Amino acid sequence: MIVTVIFGSDGGATKGVASRISKKCQGRAVDIKTATMADFENCDLLILGSPTYGDGTLQTDWEENIDKLRGARLKGKKVAIFGTGDQESYPHSFVDAMGILYDEVSGLGATVVGFTDTKGYDYVGSTAEREGKFVGLALDQDTQSGLTDKRVTAWLSGLI
């Protein structure tokens, strides 16, 4: 199975998670700044990752390169999403970027996989929550970093 992980990251936390994920599934991690259409399209599983900024926006590199995603042929493509956020400092917009990416790829006809349980998190609201589940893997590297490896491993086991 060919896995491509496309991420945006400023502080390095999301890049670190993308690297962990790609290593665990023998995939490749690609920064959204350098990603090409082939990176989005030429894989069996596309994994997208972004931190959430402020009151619920995508990371800057994602915002500046969103047309790459919008131009990709993703109809029927298996796509998984992960997001990093801070549920204590931003409890009303925890991992909102995942919800934004979910809406984008769903609109392109992708098949989103990897929904996860919201139990074990302490937040008020998130656009990444749909019907009681997160649309992907929610990670809080600020207050729950000790759970990241366990969560990544469990999530990937359901995808691959």
Is 130 in contact with 8 (CB distance < 8 Å)? Answer: no
pLDDT in tens, 96-146: 999 999 999 999 999 999 999 999 999 999 999 999 999 999 999 999 999
**What is the band of 89 on the pLDDT scale with cuts at 50, 70, 90?**
very high
Q: Is the pTM of this model over 0.95?
A: yes
Topology classification of domain 3-159? Rossmann fold (3.40.50)
Query: What are the domain boundaries of the chain?
Result: 3-159
pLDDT in tens, 24-38: 999 999 999 999 999
Mean pLDDT of the chain: 96
